[in-house]
Amino acid sequence: MMANPNYKAELVGVFGHPVAENPTVVMQEAAFKALNLNWRYLTIEVLPEDLGAAMQGLRAFQMRGINLTIPHKVAVLKYLDVVKPDAALMGAVNTVVRKDDRLIGENTDGKGFMRALVQDAKVDPKGTRVVVLGAGGAARAITVELALAGARQISIVNRSDDRGKTLCNLLNEKTPTSADYIPWTDSFEIPENADILINATSIGLYPNVHQKPEIVYDSLRAGMVVCDVIPTPKTLFLTEAEKHGTKIISGLGMLVYQGAIGFTLWTDLEAPVEPMYRALLDIFNTND
């Protein structure tokens, strides 16, 4: 007979709406399997009006933590005991960790981007001029981390003025960087002294894989670093940028690393990045 059986799994997961297409379960379960952990990642549909009840449920089930996705990243703040400083600056939390009866909010999106930029691509953002297309949640998370890492100037290029200006004001008022807003036109030329260009819009996201941001691609020059948040190995945006001799960084690394950072926050273990990456790559290749 087996001694001291333990059939109870540790639970984490994601609250979202709609949530069915969120792929995070695939990479977190791959990580649990690789380290032989009896943990489960649950993909849970939570309506906006039920978020408070869901957070109570998280406590009641003694879950170890939760990811938040659309539309809960901002609304969740009022249910937390602690919000980490950079997540508080962004005003958004994508990862909650339960330590005893305290719920702690973090944002790993920008940190995941930074790890792909600094660790994998060996790009030091200190002192750089960065141009960011988009001003939504991803842009906000990335630019706050870049500003805190010493980026000298951040230009926000966005379709709607109000969102673009709001992000600029946040960066200027709350971080050491200098931010400016540039309204987006189809003839947008990348400033000659830009070091890093980032697509932080949803243009190119599956199933719209044949779309790319309309910019003047001939204004790109060799030596620039061009990044995409869209989590596929190579978007049309990056394909076009590569033709101009730029160094490219896909959004897949950002996705894996934001999950890897969350995994470590929950388990206190180093995340097995390779199996997580391979699991995601498998599903993206299946979707193509």
The verdict on 251 binding ligand NDP (CB under 6 A) reads yes
* Residue closest to ligand NDP when measured from CB atoms: 136
CB-count exposure of residue 146 (10 Å: 0-12, 13-18, 19+): buried
Sequence-ordered list of residues with C-beta below 8 angstroms from that of 277, at least 6 positions apart, any chain: 27, 252, 256
Please provide the DSSP assignment of 118-185 as one string. IIIS----TT-EEEEE--SHHHHHHHHHHHHTT-SEEEEEESSHHHHHHHHHHHHHHSSSEEEEEE--
The verdict on 233 binding ligand NDP (CB under 6 A) reads no
DSSP 225: E
Choices 9-17, 154-162, 216-224, 240-248; region in contact with ligand NDP by CB under 6 A = 154-162
Least distance between ligand NDP and beta carbon 7 (Å): 34
Alpha carbon distance 201, 187 (integer Å): 17
The verdict on 160 binding ligand NDP (CB under 6 A) reads yes
Stretch (H or E) spanning 14: strand 10-16
Stretch (H or E) spanning 67: strand 65-68
Known catalytic membership, residue 73: yes
Least distance between ligand NDP and beta carbon 248 (Å): 14
Sequence-ordered list of residues with C-beta below 8 angstroms from that of 6, at least 6 positions apart, any chain: 38
Q: Which is nearer to ligand NDP, 57 or 91 (CB)?
A: 91
Choices 14-22, 55-63, 118-126, 129-137; region in contact with ligand NDP by CB under 6 A = 129-137
The verdict on 229 binding ligand NDP (CB under 6 A) reads yes
Residues in the chain: 288
Least distance between ligand NDP and beta carbon 112 (Å): 6
3-state secondary structure of 246: coil
The verdict on 273 binding ligand NDP (CB under 6 A) reads no
The verdict on 159 binding ligand NDP (CB under 6 A) reads yes
Single residue of 38, 62, 185, 202 touching ligand NDP by CB under 6 A: 202
Give the C-alpha distances (Å, rounded to integers) separating 143 from 18, 95, 170, 171, 175: 26, 18, 10, 8, 10
Single residue of 27, 230, 238, 265 touching ligand NDP by CB under 6 A: 230
The verdict on 203 binding ligand NDP (CB under 6 A) reads yes
- Applying CB under 6 A, the site for ligand NDP has a residue count of 23
Active-site choice (73, 212, 243, 247): 73
Residues contributing to the site for ligand NDP (CB under 6 A)? 109, 112, 134-139, 158-160, 163, 201-203, 205, 229-231, 251, 254-255, 258
Residues annotated as catalytic (active site), given as ranges:
73
